[in-house]
Amino acid sequence: MSVHVSPQAETATLTDLLTAVFAGLEAELLALVEAGDRLDSFNAGSMILRLDHALLFAETCPVLRAILASTLVTARRQFDGHIAQRIQVSIGTDDIRHTDILA
């Protein structure tokens, strides 16, 4: 006896399964980005490149893409903050804000 399952139900089940499998991945990736940033602020630049590359090859898994994209945004924000701080130090002023770098 076979049970016919609709494609939508299969997709929903697969998405739920992938979400459960990747549940801890985002926290681990964010911890890795934080640890790299504590070691050397320029590590975030390297992590941005690696996460971009991983995103390109994760196109068939929306759950993994969402996790990688979220981690990528965090790494970019940290790197932007580091660059803004370096600019402040080199100019010798506190007038530059993080949002000015992104504009």
Residue 33 to residue 38: CA distance in whole angstroms? 9
Answer whether residue 49 is part of any domain: yes
Residue 88 to residue 99: CA distance in whole angstroms? 13
Q: What is the pLDDT of residues 39-94, one digit of tens each?
A: 887 787 888 899 899 888 888 788 888 889 999 999 999 888 888 888 888 887 65
How many domains does the chain divide into? Answer: 1
Q: What is the pLDDT of residues 73-84, one digit of tens each?
A: 999 998 888 888
How high is the pLDDT of residue 98?
A: 53
Structural domain for 72, as ranges: 24-102
**pTM of the full predicted structure?**
0.69
What is the DSSP secondary structure assignment for residue 94, as one 8-state letter?
A: S
Answer whether residue 4 is part of any domain: no
Answer whether residue 29 is part of any domain: yes
